[in-house]
Chain A
Amino acid sequence: MKFNRKRFYLAAVPIFFLVPLILNPYWVDVLNSIGLYALLGLSLNLIVGYAGLFNLGHAAFYAVGAYTSAILNTTYHIPILLLLPVAGLAAGIFALIVARPIIHLRGDYLCIVTIGVGEIVRIALINDVFGITGGANGIFGIARPRIFGMVIRTPHQFFYLIWLFVAITVFLFYRLEDSRVGRALNYIREDEVAAEACGINVAHYKLISFVVGATWAGMAGNIFAAKMTIISPESFSFWESVLMFTLIILGGAGSIEGVLLGAFLIIGLPEIFRELSNARMLFFGAAMIAMMIFRPEGLIPPVPKKYRVFSGTDRGETT
């Protein structure tokens, strides 16, 4: 579909940022959830969409970020927002350690191992590993973010915090997509052997996708911790990983717009159909099967990049 990205965002973003003014807190909170899942989806998209690696344990990185923030904040009273980069760093380092030995595994095997990692993290959290995770009850009393003395507490306030972060992420990720790193990940997804034969260090870039993806998920975890003020292992289950994974696939793996749409649908639709809440998971599962049969590339698949080229005397320019 002919889609002028710049115009779309220029029009949609201001409208979107005004929407909370007319919604009640419940729906603003839904939008906040969508925002968090958008962040998670975008971060996982680097791994699944660009590099083409099956990661079904992304919630582990989310958890590392959230718990790092929660523990440091409740123990040392460091302002939660200051811990945002720390959370990201912790998750990134964790990803580096965990992914390094498994990065060369074939698709299905990698998938299973990521599930295993996610489960081990969750079990470790429940078992209060190192005595700092609070066990099954988790950690409570996490501070609210403060910006210039103002405490961010209401859903409306969190809306702007979360979606500002989403906007920055989208901006940076578009740039990443259209760069040497982004291209390398695409080449790896398309044909690993050929990519290696072109001089691309495949293992290195796969790791990069994991580390950058994990870093962003960790930061999302920080915001989540600040918003909920209580975190527990339940929020980081395999089901969460499946949710993130699915929203990417359904929306369109590899396309930022697709991931955003996916987040809206996956989180928003069940909210709209709350009455059917019990049966909605049934529909969810059936929808996944149906999508794969009828539209596997997702609702908004990525489009090939257009380049501006200057060929000889013909200074042709394409958008």
Chain B
Amino acid sequence: MLESDAASEAEAALFLRCYGRGLMAEFLQQFVNGLAVGGIYALIALGYTMVYGVLKLINFAHGDLFTIGAYLGLTLLTSFGLADRVGPGVAVLLLVVMVMGFVAVIGIILERVAYRPLRNSPRLSAVVSALGASIFFQNAVMLIYGARFRVYPQNLLPKISLNLLGIYIPLVKILVLVVCVIMMVGLYLFIQRTTIGTAIRAAAIDQEAARLVGINVDGVITLVFIIGPALGGLAGLMVGILYGQIKFTMGWIYGLKAFTAAILGGIGNIPGAMLGGLILGVVEALGSAYISIAWKDAIAFCVLILILVVKPTGLLGERVAEKV
């Protein structure tokens, strides 16, 4: 009797260990997935939060800048055959630089045309203008590239997976995560440690006062519209590489989620946007794995509404002075 009890006990223990490890591995897998997607949300969120911090404007067109980045990468890879000309490694580097640069330029144009003339107009005007810009960009992309899914060439990066902590993580995901972290850390240091970064923070707190102490606020705004869109474009490129498929409507859903992330972290708060993006990515990944994948998008919106109702200043607090 005792013998078989001990044996079945040992069996049960082994089973639990494997099952537990399986559960753990599953959890870690989703967690890492969430981090990768969260990093992308974070990059996009940074664009929203920086623009909102300085202009108090929700740049509805930001998600479409993200889309433009993705499609531009596509063009460079397919029509331009970048990878064939210079080899995959260099191609990726060039892609990043060119996409970020191009989208930054579009960002500057966007600011000049759609937002600068409305600096002194009521908020509603800027909101409508932003919506108009979003519609314009989205449909321009659709006209140029068509309404169906477009596929990214899959031969860009080696399709290997690394085995960490018992789970298999594709190299691509690790690279995405690494790039995101580098960008975020870089931006954080830039904002906190450089003079220009301080100028941006000053303009975000009080534009008038910043002007009065000699900060070139127009220049700061232009800079914000370079950095934000550049990061957004990069995120678009990474989505294309990571998921292989892009559609002209992707800016809408990614944009809204990134905006949720920015709000979650505290709109106007740069570390907040990073944190918010990562958290949202993980919550979404875990939620869609353990609850239901159909409601994945709804999770982000529920998070959004919950935050705005319960703690609108976000996790790290809104970096905007509230006028009493």
Query: Which A residues form the contact surface with B (CB < 8 A)?
Result: 52, 54, 101-102, 105-109, 111-113, 115-117, 119-120, 123-124, 126-127, 238, 242, 245-246, 249, 253, 278-279, 281-282, 284-289, 291-293, 296
Contacts and interface: CB of A to CB of B under 8 A. Distances in A.
Interface string B255-287: 010010001000000000000000000000000
A189 to B, nearest CB: 10
Contact of A289 (B114, B138, B295, B301): B114
B297 A123 contact: yes
Given A119-B256, A296-B125, A288 B131 contact: yes
Nearest to A250: B128
B127 interface: yes
Interface in B116-134: 117-118, 121-129, 131-134
B248 to A, nearest CB: 11
A152 B6 CA distance: 79
A282 B135 CA distance: 7
Contacts of A115: 256
B136 interface: yes
Contact of A109 (B128, B302, B312): B312
Contacts of B136: 281-282, 285-286, 289
Given A108-B123, A120-B298, A282-B139, A246 B309 contact: no
Contact of B127 (A54, A105, A116, A238): A54
A292 B132 CA distance: 10
Contact of B263 (A112, A127, A287, A289): A112
Contacts of A296: 118, 121-122, 124-125
B304 interface: yes
Interface in B131-159: 131-140, 143
Q: Which label, helix, strand, loop or mixed, suits the secondary structure of the A interface?
A: helix
Given A246-B131, A292-B129, A119 B121 contact: no
A127 B56 CA distance: 35
B308 A112 contact: yes
Contacts of A102: 305, 308-309
Contacts of B199: none
A249 B125 CA distance: 9
B133 A285 contact: yes
Contacts of A105: 308-309, 312
A124 B312 CA distance: 25
A124 B294 CA distance: 10
B123 A288 contact: no
A288 B138 CA distance: 14
A102 B137 CA distance: 31
> What are the 5 closest A-B residue pairs judged by CB atoms, nearest first?
A288-B132, A285-B136, A285-B135, A281-B139, A116-B301
A113 B129 contact: no
